[in-house]
Chain A
Amino acid sequence: MFNYIVRRILQAIPILLVVLTLVFLVVRVLPGDPAVAALGDYASKDAVLALQERMGLNDPLWLQYVRFLGNLLTGDMGTSLVTGYSVGKQVVQALPYTLTLTISAILFGYIFGVPLGISAAVHRNSFIDYFNRIFSLVGLSVPAFYLGVLLMYFFSIRLRLFPVVGAGDPGDLGSLLHHLFLPALSLGLIMTAYVTRMTRSSLLEILREDYIRTAKSKGLAGRVVLYKHALRNALIPIVTLGGLYAVVLIGSSVMVEIVFSRPGLGKMMVGAIQQRDYTTLQSVMALYTVFVVVINLLTDLIYGLIDPRIKYD
């Protein structure tokens, strides 16, 4: 197992490096001069030249690239062109808001999605199955930000049960949770739809297998067959696809953060694009891709844990 983990981590490194290179290049081809963006259109030419020099924009591309990677490695993400604050510090402040949002949505999705999917598969073509199919079809179709807008309208504006925007008082857990609820629900419902659908379809597939028939004909109790024989095997695609959907969820979290004005990474990234704050933009984008690489890595590792067919040699 140890070798398997080490090998997977080593395989992730070159991919991460290429992805970071791409982030660096994309930010370099963005239109507009970062120095002009930082100083405003009416800045004097000398001031712009001086800032360009200070930001290292006149250095050869390879030198800027080496500096970018070196800084990332040491955790130094540079200074924001707009606020003048350290990007690293801003990221550290924003990260918990994004993490709590996505992790609670993923948990919500699994806690409700797996039982719903099981009940739909077991009671195939029943009322609960039809309800689940419609629920997951709508959940897969609705844009997260629209769901956020709807929830905000009904629960915050009409019923006044939850705050409209913001993330709450950082020192007050109750306030943080109160502010987290609707954004997490917007993403969580969508995740539930994904999880329900894949649980149902992978369980249905397994329930048709010969070994399930054998288990049943041996006279094993239905619950034992379902939970010990079927569900355990159905878990494999649920985990693999779960990783895939977690990546989709990261994209959607950007939108939900904007709808609810939640000060997470997504809001930071969109703000950076609108203000042409390129140091912030490249750091946040780099961080998002690191998330994806890590999620893929974790998916592989969990996959290795639950699928005994995977040899760890």
Chain B
Amino acid sequence: MPTDMTRRQKMWATFKRNKTALVGAVVAAIIVFIAVFAPWLAPYDPLVQDPFVRLQGTTEAHWLGTDDFGRDVFSRIIWGSRVSLIIGLASVALGLVAGTGFGMIAGYYRGKVETGIMRSVDVLMCFPDLILAIAVTAALGANLFNLILTIGIVMIPRFARLAHGQVLSITESEYVLSARAVGAGVPRIILRHIFPNIFGDLLVAATLWVGVAIRLEANLAFIGLGVSPPTPTWGNMIRQGIDVMINAPWISMYSGLSILITILAFNMLGDGLRDIADPRLRGA
């Protein structure tokens, strides 16, 4: 379909011109690359301790220094990217699928179904993200799977509210009404007519919320509710670095910087995508 192609080409051209989005995408891609190829990129085993090089600053052998067990901070940061990215991406995917599902059902069926779903969303939104995450993690126990589940649960109401609002604004549009008039079934209408039209906005939100999820994971790890040590995560590295902050500030500094850069990359990408999706907001 040539019209579709030109539209896509136009979007790609807009994307390339949007420096924020481009920088965000490149940095995010580099971080994903680092996480995937961590075993080959890390110069040292992140768990191997060496008491002879405890708390060393930057040296030729250890670019970002060592921690109080003599472990290489650079290698631990490289490996730490895995936990952050896996939890960030998987929990947002979970929230996207479940939350969008609930939101679309609520928006399409209206009535009691809508009231039930959306009031539950209101209730969940009464918990600050972190408080809800702390409670659920404490109940489930902290491991990789449960953290994905926990942060996914925090993400569900956000996506549900967004999808619900979007669906409400298009269920009365002519193409949905005509699909209904020619006798299309509800699943078909939702999946073929409504979903493709709200997917763009959901994707933009998802990109921005990956940053939120990564930050949440770091918060949990910092208060000791993350993936348990010795597995390196950026959050537990900052925590561990605080105890030796006076002599070895680099452990906390560099791990925190990694979190900041990663979240920044996803936020820049999300901002840029939003500008492309809605040109009226460009630069807003």
Contacts of B139 in A (CB 8 A): 26, 29-31
Q: Which of A103-111, A137-145, A213-221, A225-233 contacts B (4 or more CB under 8 A)?
A: A137-145
Are B211 and A274 in contact (CB-based, < 8 A)? no
CB contacts under 8 Å to B, within A198-256, are: 200-201, 204-205, 247-248, 250-252, 254-255
Is there contact, CB below 8 Å, between A204 and B138? no
Residues of A near B222 (CB, < 8 A) are 145, 255, 258
User: Which residues between 293 and 312 of chain A lie within 8 Å of chain B, taking CB atoms?
Assistant: 293, 296
Cα distance, A141 to B270, chains bound together (Å): 12
Whether B211 contacts A141 by the Cβ 8 Å rule is: yes
A30 and B138 contacting across the interface, CB-CB below 8 Å: yes
Q: How far is the CA of A289 from the CA of B134 in the complex (A)?
A: 13
Given contacts A30-B139, A142-B260, A143-B219, contact A251 B130 (CB under 8 A): yes
A111 to B267, CA, bound (A): 25
Complex CA distance for A255 and B219, rounded to whole angstroms: 7
Evaluate contact between B264 and A137: CB separation under 8 angstroms.
Answer: yes
Mask, B7-40, CB within 8 Å of A = 1, is 0000000000000000000000000000000000
Is A153 within 8 A of B238, CB to CB? no
Chain A facing B: main interface SS: helix
**Cα distance, A258 to B253, chains bound together (Å):** 17
CB distance from B85 to the nearest CB of A (A): 15
Which residues of B216-274 have CB atoms within 8 Å of chain A's CB atoms? 218-219, 222-225, 238, 242, 245-246, 249, 252-253, 256, 259-260, 263-264, 267-268, 271
Contact pick for B135, options A26, A150, A258, CB 8 Å: A26
Please name 10 further chain A to chain B contacts, defined as beta carbons within 8 Å, in addition to the given A285-B131, A285-B135, sorted by A numbering.
A140-B267, A145-B219, A149-B238, A153-B253, A204-B284, A250-B131, A251-B128, A254-B223, A274-B224, A293-B126
| 5 closest A-B pairs by CB | A251-B130, A251-B128, A146-B256, A141-B263, A201-B284
